[in-house]
Chain A
C-alpha cells in the first residue's frame, strides 16, 4: 500500500501544480481553464519536434516549448479578456473547452497519433525508502507544487502587484475605475499559468505515456484536486493533488480495486460537488 502511494506521488505532484494553476485562473481571471494541460502538451510536443527535426539541444527545445505554451495561454487570455470581458464564468470557461479539443486535434494533424520520442530531462530514481524507490521526477514535481503554491500566496498577499490582482478579482469595476490595468494583468496571469503548466508537463511527460489525449486529459484529476479547495484555496489544491495521486497509486495495488483507479477523479468530483451542495434546497441549487 505504502509502495503504491509513493508510486502515485509523481502523478500527485503533477495534479497539484495543475490544480494550483486552475485555482489561480478561477480566482483571478474568472475562468475554469480546461485547456490548462492541453497548452502544456502542445508546447511540449513542439519542443520534441524542434529537438528531432531542427536538432536543438534538449534543454533549448524545452525552453522554446515552455515559452510557446506560455504565449499560447496568453493569446487565449487576450482573446477572452477582449471579447468576453463581461461574460459570465460559464461562457468564458466554455471557450477553453473548445481550445482543448482544438489543440488535441491540431497535435494529431501536425505530429500524428504515434507517440513522440521524448528525451527524459530527469531520468532515474532519486532515493529509496524501505525498498520503495522515489524517482527524481517525483521529488521535483512535489517540491515544485509546494513552492508554486507558497510563491503565489506570498505574491498575492505581500506585493502591490498581488493587491492589484486581488482588487481586480474581488471588485473588477472599482479596480478598473481606480486605474488598474485589467487586461494586461489578466493576460499576465494567463501567461504565468501557461508557463507553469508547460514546465511541469515537460518535466513529467518523458517519464510516462505521452500521447496528446492522455496529457490533455490530465485536467480532469487536476480539477478534482482544485475542487477540494473550492477553486479558491491554493493549499487545499496542493493537498488535493497529492492525496489524489497517492490514492490512485494505492488503489492500483489491490486487484479488485484496480479498475476504480481511473474513475477516481470523477468519483472525487461527484462526491465533492454533492458535499458542497448538501445544504442547498433543491429549488435554489438548481
Chain B
C-alpha cells in the first residue's frame, strides 16, 4: 500500500512532463561577405509549432535568388528553432544576430520570441519584420514590426463586427490569459468600448489554456445571459468550448473568435458552430481559392508544398516587404544600411492586407488595423467570406 502511495506521489510530478517532438529545420551554415544573411527565430518544435511562416519566407527568398538575387548578391536565410523554450529562443537570436551577423530578422513566428529578444535586438541595433507576432512585446518594441494584425487589434475587430455589423448585444468575453497578455486584451476591449460606447455583459479571464473540459465555463457564461462570446483561443481549446456548448444544447450562441482558429483543420473539426463562428482574418482569406488577391502567394506556396495558412501568408508578406526595401538600397547592404532603409521606407501596400506596411522609427508598431470578416456556419465545415471589404478600426 505504501509503495503505491509513494508511486502516486512520484508520478503526480512525473506526469506533469509533456512530451514534444521535433521537426527538422534545415539551415545551412556558412557566411562570409558574399551572401546577405537574413535570420528568423521560430517555434519549429515543441508543443505548439508554427513552421509555415519561415518556410514561406524562405520560398520568397529562394525565388529571388533564382532570379539573380539582390544587386547580384544571394540571400542566405537562416530559420532557427526556439523549441518554445525561452533559453533556446535567446540562444537562437544570439546565434543568428551575433555569430552569423544577420542584416535583419524576417518572417519569425513564435509565441515567446519577441518578449525574450526585443531588448537584445535594441542593443544590437537590428530590426525584425515578424511574420506572425503574438505576444504584446511584438507590438510595443521599437525594433520589431510584425506583418500581421496581432491578437489585440483582432479582438477589437471581432467585437466591432459582432456589435456593429451583426448587431449583437450581451457580448461576453472568455479570455485565456498566458503571461502578461491581460492588460493588452483589456486595452483592446476598452478600445472597442470607446468606439461604440458599449460594454461587455460579462468577462471571465480565468479560462485556462489547454483545459480538457470547458463545460463549467460555458454553463457560467450561459447563465450570465450571454448571446455572443468572444474568446482568444488556440484551436484545440476553441473546439473544446464549442463542443461543450453543443453538449449543453446551447445552439443560439454566436462565437466572435480570432485568426488563431482560422484553418481548414478547425473547420473540419466543427460540426455545430452554434449561431456561427465569426473571425476577422488578419490577411485576405486564403480559403477563397479563386481570389486574385492571394494568387501570387498561393502559386508560390503550392509550388513549394507549404501549407496554405495565415502563418504562411505572414511569412510571405514579411519577406516581400523586406525584399522591396533592400532592393532600393544604394551601396553596401549591411545591418546599418538595412536598418536605415527600413526606418526611412515608404508604405508598401499589398492586396493581402487592408493596411499598408511601414516600419518607420516609431517606438511601437501596432498600426495594422484591418481584418477581412469570415464565418463558419454549422454543418458546412467550410470557412466563407462574410464581407466584401476590409473591416477597419476607426481612427480616433
Please list the residues of chain A having a beta carbon within 8 angstroms of any beta carbon in chain B.
Answer: 3-4, 7-8, 10-11, 26, 32, 34, 88-90, 93, 97, 100-101, 104-105, 108-109, 113-120, 123-125, 128, 132-133, 135-138, 206-211, 213-215, 217-220, 223, 227, 230-232, 248-250, 252-253, 255, 258-259, 261-262, 266, 269-270, 273, 276-277, 285
Cβ B247 vs Cβ A207 within 8 A = yes
Task: Kindly identify which residue among A105, A125, A218 contacts B19, using a CB–CB cutoff of 8 Å.
Answer: A105
* B:333-389 near A, CB below 8 Å: none
User: How far, in Å, is A96 (CB) from chain B's closest CB?
Assistant: 9
Chain B residues near A220 (CB-CB < 8 A) = 12, 15
18 A-B pairs whose Cβ atoms sit less than 8 Å apart in the complex: A7-B219, A8-B215, A89-B4, A104-B19, A118-B269, A120-B246, A132-B219, A133-B249, A208-B240, A209-B236, A211-B236, A214-B210, A220-B12, A230-B4, A252-B206, A252-B220, A262-B208, A273-B5
Chain B residues near A97 (CB-CB < 8 A) = 11, 14-15
Chain B residues near A10 (CB-CB < 8 A) = 213, 215, 247
Q: Which residue of B lies closest to A93 (CB)?
A: B7
User: How far, in Å, is A242 (CB) from chain B's closest CB?
Assistant: 14
Cβ A7 vs Cβ B243 within 8 A = no
Cβ B21 vs Cβ A108 within 8 A = yes
Q: Which residue of A lies closest to B268 (CB)?
A: A117
* B:135-149 near A, CB below 8 Å: none
Cβ A211 vs Cβ B15 within 8 A = no
Cβ B213 vs Cβ A209 within 8 A = yes
Instruction: Verify if B20 is at the interface (C-beta below 8 Å from A).
Output: yes
Cβ A210 vs Cβ B240 within 8 A = yes
**Contact A273-B8, Cβ < 8 Å, known A213-B210, A249-B216:** yes
User: How far, in Å, is A145 (CB) from chain B's closest CB?
Assistant: 16
Cβ B247 vs Cβ A137 within 8 A = yes
C-alpha gap A101/B19 in the complex (Å): 6
Cβ B246 vs Cβ A32 within 8 A = no
Contact with A along B1-36 (1 / 0, CB 8 A): 111111111011011011111000000000000000
Instruction: Verify if B196 is at the interface (C-beta below 8 Å from A).
Output: no
Chain B residues near A125 (CB-CB < 8 A) = 247-249
Chain A residues near B396 (CB-CB < 8 A) = none
Chain A residues near B243 (CB-CB < 8 A) = 120, 206-208
Cβ A208 vs Cβ B220 within 8 A = no
C-alpha gap A153/B387 in the complex (Å): 61
Chain A residues near B271 (CB-CB < 8 A) = 119-120
Instruction: Verify if B217 is at the interface (C-beta below 8 Å from A).
Output: yes
Chain A residues near B211 (CB-CB < 8 A) = 209, 214, 262
Cβ A208 vs Cβ B265 within 8 A = no
**Contact A115-B236, Cβ < 8 Å, known A108-B20, A249-B215:** yes
Chain A residues near B215 (CB-CB < 8 A) = 7-8, 10-11, 135, 208, 249
User: How far, in Å, is A147 (CB) from chain B's closest CB?
Assistant: 21
Instruction: Verify if B244 is at the interface (C-beta below 8 Å from A).
Output: yes
Cβ B247 vs Cβ A135 within 8 A = yes
Cβ B216 vs Cβ A115 within 8 A = no
Cβ B15 vs Cβ A115 within 8 A = no
**Contact A269-B21, Cβ < 8 Å, known A207-B243, A210-B239:** no
Task: Kindly identify which residue among B4, B15, B237, B265 contacts A114, using a CB–CB cutoff of 8 Å.
Answer: B265
Cβ A209 vs Cβ B240 within 8 A = yes
Task: Kindly identify which residue among B6, B8, B212, B214 contacts A223, using a CB–CB cutoff of 8 Å.
Answer: B8
